[in-house]
């Protein structure tokens, strides 16, 4: 019986490499929240997972540096044809990307060791730190690299960093996004008849009651208008003001329970489009997996 199936709607408002805003409707909070949770914590990316330190005479200790390396975002487009350490691994699958780093400070000035000092794995040159540019061909418009440690003369850092596929549930360094949020779409309705009984000054004050500026006063038509529904932040200020004016029915604000506005901010590790599509795939795969794992029906189940 498929009559209980929802037919969701989706509209993209803005889509860039590192930002996406879309509206999801005709579905339920449980679906919106599941998508949010999966995007945050179950979409796989690549991050440094194991560090072998050969030489470290810098001021930071080995663990400290290993931790910093883990947090460097690595471009993870290769993650889709990579296997994680907990998957079934075949002979042709690859799980490890080996980055190396060797810096010796020879100058009298302080020297920065950055993500640009990494030497990439020549088998997997598609895995590199976000904003990476080879230190020999530094250009003006290159992004500023990520600082790992600062050195003084004769200090040395030599290490091998192994990057692996992982998910945010394991460690936050694998989270593919900066933030994912969804909000219920607000529904604001003004009681016109009641509003008309108020005079101009009061109307203007009413509009300014909430700092969210969801409402505005039109001086030509002399009416209070809803201009920016989504700017409303459920601060309750309009309702409070209505209460104070002894007209609690002046305005009604509710949250829609089947329209959601999603905002996804990427980190550069994966494009947000990729994150969203992968999140849907991951969630689908989870449910498929559950369906397959469901034990077969018992023969006498009907008797119960």
Partner 1 sequence: MSNAPDRYERFVVPEGLQKISIEKDTKVTNAATFTLQREDHTVGNLIRMQLLRDPEVMFAGYKFPHPLEYHIFIKVQTMGKKPPREAFDDALTNLIGELTDIRDKFQSEADIKRQLD
Question: Binding residues for partner 1, per CB under 8 A?
Answer: 1-2, 4-12, 15, 22, 24, 27-31, 33-35, 37-38, 42, 86, 167, 169-171, 273, 276-277, 280-281, 283-284, 286-291, 293-295, 297, 301-302, 304
200-207 and 237-244 helices cross at what angle (nearest 10)?
A: 150
Question: What minimum distance in Å lies between the beta carbon of 37 and partner 1?
Answer: 4
Q: 20 or 207: whose CB is closer to partner 1?
A: 20
Question: What minimum distance in Å lies between the beta carbon of 89 and partner 1?
Answer: 14
Rounded-to-integer distance, Cα 180 and Cα 272, Å:
10
Q: 38 or 74: whose CB is closer to partner 1?
A: 38
C-alpha torsion 129→135→137→142, nearest 10: 50
Q: 88 or 109: whose CB is closer to partner 1?
A: 88
Terminal alpha carbon distance of the chain: 21
Q: 220 or 294: whose CB is closer to partner 1?
A: 294
Residue whose pair of structure tokens reads 């980055």 in the numeric block: 99
Question: What minimum distance in Å lies between the beta carbon of 129 and partner 1?
Answer: 24
Q: 30 or 139: whose CB is closer to partner 1?
A: 30
> Taking Cα atoms as reference points, which of 293, 73, 10, 58 lies closest to residue 158?
58
Question: What minimum distance in Å lies between the beta carbon of 26 and partner 1?
Answer: 10
β partners of residue 160: 52, 100
Q: 140 or 301: whose CB is closer to partner 1?
A: 301
Hey, what are 184's tokens?
């219920």
CA torsion sign, 204 to 208 to 213 to 214?
A: negative
Q: Tell me which DSSP letter residue 120 carries.
A: P
Question: What minimum distance in Å lies between the beta carbon of 35 and partner 1?
Answer: 8
CA torsion sign, 152 to 153 to 154 to 156?
A: positive
Question: What minimum distance in Å lies between the beta carbon of 259 and partner 1?
Answer: 14
β partners of residue 69: none
């Amino acid at each position: 019986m498929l009559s209980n199936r929802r037919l969701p709607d989706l509209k993209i408002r803005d889509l860039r490499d590192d930002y996406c805003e879309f509206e999801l409707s005709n579905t339920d909070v449980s679906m919106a929240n599941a998508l949010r949770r999966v995007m945050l914590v179950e979409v796989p990316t690549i991050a440094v997972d194991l560090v072998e330190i050969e030489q470290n005479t810098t001021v930071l200790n080995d663990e400290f540096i290993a931790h910093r390396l883990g947090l460097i975002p690595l471009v993870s487009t290769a993650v889709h044809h990579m296997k994680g350490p907990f998957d079934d691994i075949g002979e042709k699958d690859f799980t490890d990307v080996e980055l190396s780093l060797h810096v010796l400070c020879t100058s009298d000035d302080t020297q920065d060791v950055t993500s640009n000092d990494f030497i990439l794995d020549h088998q997997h040159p598609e895995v590199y730190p976000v904003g990476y540019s080879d230190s020999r061909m530094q250009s003006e418009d290159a992004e500023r690299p990520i600082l790992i440690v600062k050195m003084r003369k004769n200090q040395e850092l030599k290490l091998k960093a192994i990057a692996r596929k992982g998910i945010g549930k394991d460690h936050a360094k694998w989270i593919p996004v900066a933030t994912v949020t969804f909000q219920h779409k607000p529904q604001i309705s003004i009681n016109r008849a009641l509003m008309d009984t108020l005079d101009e000054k009061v109307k203007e004050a009413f509009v300014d009651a909430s700092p969210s500026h969801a409402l505005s006063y039109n001086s030509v038509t002399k009416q209070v208008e809803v201009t920016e529904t989504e700017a409303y932040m459920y601060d309750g200020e309009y309702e409070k003001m209505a209460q104070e004016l002894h007209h609690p029915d002046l305005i009604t604000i509710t949250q829609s329970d089947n329209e959601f506005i999603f905002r996804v901010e990427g980190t550069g590790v994966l494009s947000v489009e990729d994150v969203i599509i992968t999140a849907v795939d991951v969630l689908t795969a989870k449910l498929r997996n559950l369906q397959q794992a469901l034990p077969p029906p018992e023969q006498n189940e009907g008797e119960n």
